[in-house]
């Protein structure tokens, strides 16, 4: 391994950048639906050994930038599918747009690597007597800055917190991920990212002093920590309850119409009728609420009374229909505003509640700097959508209060419930991932929703027009789901919350920010050689004490 480290460190110029790009691209193997987390044991050590060859922070920045470009190109490639829904109008922009976004997002990783260079590589630190210790300090600093940068990109420029590294554990293919993500109820996704970076980058130290026992201990320590965290999570799951809310049972409808078909007005009536048919066909008598996906039907339900009357035929007697659809309003000047909304409809077609999406997708639902950027929204909505006021807690008859989340509003850790309002008893996520086809994107979106449920300790009901639809309990367990690209219905009760209030729900991302800050400060200011020298000065000399 030390030979591999030396060869990577010796790379220069385009060869170093190409190797960093490939290492960053490899990280996608650790994410859903592949979920081979040990791939990170190759990707992150490779990045560290490449950084060893960087003599300045500028070299470290560009190496990290290349790694970040690979990280996001493979993590965001699926966005290109949305441009081909209307290929004639937007197809030419697919590769430039997604490529530019990935390269821009890569700047965040470049910043991480540049700041990590505050601790020089082990072979440059002349005062160090323990190369493994220097490497360990660099790893801790890297993990701390990575975590803080992940948090920053969740809100800067409206935020795009896609694929934080801690998300690799939110998978269903193996029994290991579920116990590990239980820790997010305490430290959140970004705190788990901090631990995941330590776990993934720890083998780096074997590239410097592979024959020393101390190096192996350093490399194994984060793995042991993850095992302890997993064991704690397994214990939490053993003590978990399986209680459900009496008198509440959902039918989730996944009609699986392609976005190309959904965009054609000639299909709109058919889609509405098919949703109603699937909602009523062979429906058990104990179903109380039917849930359709985001923009499941292409009608303005607040003003198109006939469409609303037909949709309400899906509501069970004494129950409700919850669906996504657009909402149009005109002000006194005649200017129209369009909202991406969630409706709760009674069987008599009256509207029980409405929520307007507050966090819109840039270029998908609105165009930033519209006067400068010559680009229309991918949704085809002239002038774009208008953002709602804020997150809300809805209370409707027959249901505990819930927090509605439309599409990617569910990916914002610590920002899925309304502040200053009574705490909801569950989360509802309506989404339309039909834009992205049978790609990795919908799987990663579902993983984000799953980890939100664990963070908040609240069950999450998710209906996606093309999948993945499921009811997730407050521990992240998914008893049943409708697979991506399938048509069907899922009948399931509403689980009770896992806890009244998780530590994360109380403190939000403060815990992970403090964890990263303390870790970074410790890495910067703790130097083993300097510390031992100070201790020797404080202790009395053995020879003098003997005399």
Contacts of 544 (CB under 8 A, 6+ apart): none
Contact 67, 20 (CB under 8 A): yes
Does residue 10 sit in the same domain as residue 136? Answer: yes
pLDDT tens digits, residue range 218-262?
Answer: 778 888 999 999 999 999 999 999 999 999 999 999 999 998 888
Closest residue by Cα to residue 433 from 462, 467, 460: 467
Compute the residue count for the chain.
547
Mean pLDDT of 498-515: 93
Longest dimension (CA), the chain: 102
- Annotated catalytic residue, options 150, 171, 357, 377: 357
The pLDDT, as a whole number, for residue 120 is 83
pLDDT band at 316 (very low <50, low <70, confident <90, very high): very high
Whether 449 and 524 share a structural domain: no
**By the 8 A CB rule, do 245 and 495 touch?**
yes
Q: 433 lies in a domain?
A: yes
pLDDT of 547 = 41
In a domain, 370, yes or no: yes
Domain holding 464, by residue range, is 244-505
Count Cβ atoms below 10 Å from residue 353 Cβ, excluding itself: 18
3-state per-residue secondary structure call for 90-143:
HHHHHHHHHHHHHHHHHHHHHHHHHHHCCCCCHHHCCCCCCHHHHHHHHHHHHH
How do 336-345 and 320-330 pair as beta strands? antiparallel
Q: Do 377 and 231 fall within a single domain?
A: no
Establish whether 357 is a catalytic residue: yes
Confidence at 125, pLDDT banded by 50, 70, 90: very low
Residue 372 has pLDDT above 60, yes or no: no
Residues 376 and 522 in one domain: no
- Given 113, 377, 407, 409, the catalytic residue: 407
Catalytic residue among 294, 365, 409, 455: 294
Enter the tokens of residue 11. Answer: 């790379």
Contact predicate 476/178, CB 8 Å: yes
Could you tell me if 408 and 528 lie in one domain? Answer: no
Sign of CA dihedral 175, 176, 177, 180: positive
Q: How far is CA 17 from the centre of its chain?
A: 27
Q: How confident is the model at residue 85 (pLDDT cuts 50, 70, 90)?
A: confident
Looking at the structure, tell me whether residues 209 and 221 fall in a common domain.
yes
Q: Is the pLDDT of residue 376 over 70?
A: no
Cα 542 to chain centroid distance, Å, stands at: 57
Looking at residue 385, its pLDDT comes to 85
- 369 shares its domain with 387: yes
Residues 42 and 58 in one domain: yes
Confidence of residue 454 (pLDDT cuts 50, 70, 90): very high
CA 497 distance to own-chain centroid: 21
Q: Is 294 a catalytic residue?
A: yes
**Is pLDDT at 367 greater than 90 in this prediction?**
no
Does residue 150 or residue 131 have the better pLDDT?
150
pLDDT single digits (tens) 137-164: 899 999 999 999 999 999 998 899 999 9
Q: What is the mean pLDDT of the chain?
A: 88
Locate 458 and state its tokens. 């609240």
pLDDT of amino acid 382: 57
pLDDT band at 381 (very low <50, low <70, confident <90, very high): low
Q: Which two tokens stand for residue 5?
A: 């480290």
Same domain, 497 and 517: no
Q: How many domains does the chain fold into? A: 2
Cβ pair 275, 297 in contact under 8 A:
yes
Examine the domain organization and report whether 312 and 332 are in the same domain.
yes
* Residue 185 shares a structural domain with residue 278: no
Sequence-ordered list of residues with C-beta below 8 angstroms from that of 153, at least 6 positions apart, any chain: 105, 108, 159, 160, 161
CA distances from 14 to 10, 55, 131 (A): 12, 16, 28
270 is catalytic: no
Q: How far apart are CA 209 and CA 197, in angstroms?
A: 20
Stretch among 299-303, 313-317, 382-386 having the lowest mean pLDDT: 382-386
Q: Assess whether 497 and 523 both reside in one domain.
A: no
Q: Which residue has the higher pLDDT, 307 or 221?
A: 307
């Amino acid at each position: 391994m030390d030979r591999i480290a030396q060869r990577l460190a010796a790379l220069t110029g385009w060869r170093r950048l190409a190797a960093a790009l490939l290492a960053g691209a490899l990280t996608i193997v650790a994410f859903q639906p592949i979920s081979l987390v040990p791939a990170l044991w190759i990707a992150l050590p490779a990045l560290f050994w490449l950084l060893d060859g960087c003599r300045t922070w500028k070299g470290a920045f560009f190496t990290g930038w290349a790694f970040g470009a690979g990280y996001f190109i493979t993590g965001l490639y699926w966005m290109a599918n949305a441009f081909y829904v209307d290929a004639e109008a937007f197809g030419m922009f697919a590769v430039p747009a997604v490529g530019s976004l990935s390269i821009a997002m890569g700047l965040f990783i470049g910043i991480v690597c540049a700041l990590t260079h505050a601790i020089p590589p082990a072979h440059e630190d002349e005062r160090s007597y323990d190369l493994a210790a220097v490497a360990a300090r660099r790893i801790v600093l890297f993990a701390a800055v990575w975590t803080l940068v992940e948090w920053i990109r969740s809100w800067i420029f409206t935020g795009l917190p896609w694929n934080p590294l801690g998300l690799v554990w939110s998978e269903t293919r193996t029994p290991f991920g579920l116990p590990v993500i239980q820790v997010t109820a305490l430290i959140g996704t970004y705190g788990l990212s901090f631990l995941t970076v330590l776990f993934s980058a720890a083998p780096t130290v074997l590239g410097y002093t592979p024959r020393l026992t101390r190096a192996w201990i350093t490399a194994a320590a984060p793995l042991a920590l993850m095992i302890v965290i997993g064991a704690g999570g397994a214990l939490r799951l053993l003590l978990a309850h399986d209680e459900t809310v009496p008198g509440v049972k959902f039918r989730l409808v996944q009609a699986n119409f392609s976005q190309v078909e959904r965009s054609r007005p000639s299909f709109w009536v058919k889609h509405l009728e098919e949703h109603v048919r699937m909602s009523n066909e062979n429906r058990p008598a104990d179903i109380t609420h039917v849930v359709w996906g985001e923009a499941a039907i292409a009608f303005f339900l607040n003003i198109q009374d006939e469409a609303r009357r037909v949709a309400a035929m899906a509501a069970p007697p004494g129950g409700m229909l919850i669906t996504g659809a657009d909402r149009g309003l005109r002000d006194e000047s005649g200017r129209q505003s369009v909202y991406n909304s969630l409706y709760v409809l009674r069987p008599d077609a009256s509207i029980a509640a409405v929520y307007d999406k507050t966090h819109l997708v840039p270029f998908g639902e609105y165009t930033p700097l519209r006067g400068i950027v010559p680009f229309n929204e991918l949704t085809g909505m002239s002038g774009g959508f208008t953002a709602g006021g804020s997150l809300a807690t809805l209370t409707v008859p027959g249901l505990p209060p819930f927090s509605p989340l439309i599409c990617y509003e569910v990916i914002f850790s610590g920002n899925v419930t309304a502040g200053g309002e009574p705490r909801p008893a569950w989360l509802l996520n309506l989404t339309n991932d039909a834009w992205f086809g049978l790609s990795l994107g919908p799987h990663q979106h579902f993983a984000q929703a799953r980890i939100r449920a664990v963070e908040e300790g609240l069950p999450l009901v998710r209906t996606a027009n093309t999948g993945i639809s499921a009811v997730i309990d407050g521990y992240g367990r998914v008893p049943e789901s409708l697979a991506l690209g399938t048509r069907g219905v899922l009948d399931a009760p509403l689980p009770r919350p896992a806890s009244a209030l998780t530590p994360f729900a109380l403190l939000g991302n403060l815990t992970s920010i403090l964890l990263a800050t303390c870790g970074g400060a410790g890495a910067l200011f703790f130097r083993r050689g300097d510390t031992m020298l100070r201790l020797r000065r404080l202790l009395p000399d053995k020879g003098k004490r003997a005399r």
